[in-house]
Amino acid sequence: MTVHEKGPRILLVEDEPANRALVRAILDRSGRPELETSTLHEASTIGEARSVLATYPLDIVLVDVRLPDGSGLDLVGELRAHPHAERATIVIVSASVLEADRALARATGADAFLAKPFGASDLTRLLVGLLAS
């Protein structure tokens, strides 16, 4: 977890350590103050995400679809109902990029969809845009 005194609070729910490290590096090296000062909480399972959710208010949640203990899509409904995340922007992150997958993500209540693999500019552009809105 990268902790800063100010900036957005982001939860990354991703089971692959390399993908978590990539997001961490992108945020730390983005050149964007609103991202470099963010607090990044990391969870590798839905259970860990619930623990973070119980403790910290969140601004953005990046949720992988395929997790060891269930579907990230199912977590979206919980996020929407939780006081720490009810106003958070939720981004589904998935290698499944068919339009049906994007539609399903929207139907669950997600605000955005980020296709894997993504580059630093893709994630930076998405997050900066979400924070500006």
Flag whether 117 is in a domain: yes
Cα separation of 86 and 24, whole Å? 24
- The domain total for the chain is 1
Q: Residue 4's pLDDT is what?
A: 46
pLDDT values of the chain reduced to their tens digit, one per residue, 133 residues: 444 457 899 999 999 999 999 999 999 999 999 998 999 999 999 999 999 999 999 999 999 999 999 999 999 999 999 999 989 999 999 998 788 888 988 899 999 999 999 999 999 999 999 999 8
In a domain, 38, yes or no: yes
> What pLDDT was estimated at residue 5?
52
Asked, for residue 42, whether it belongs to a domain, the answer is yes
Indicate whether 2 belongs to any domain. no
Domain contains 103: yes
CATH of the domain at 94: 3.40.50.2300
Q: Note the pLDDT of residue 98.
A: 85
| Strands ordered across the beta sheet of 112-115 | 39-43, 9-13, 60-64, 89-94, 112-115
Domain interval for residue 31 = 9-132
Classify residue 1: in a domain, yes or no: no
Distance CA 61, CA 93 (A): 10
Asked if residue 16 belongs to a domain, the reply is yes
Residue that the structure tokens 């990230």 belong to: 72
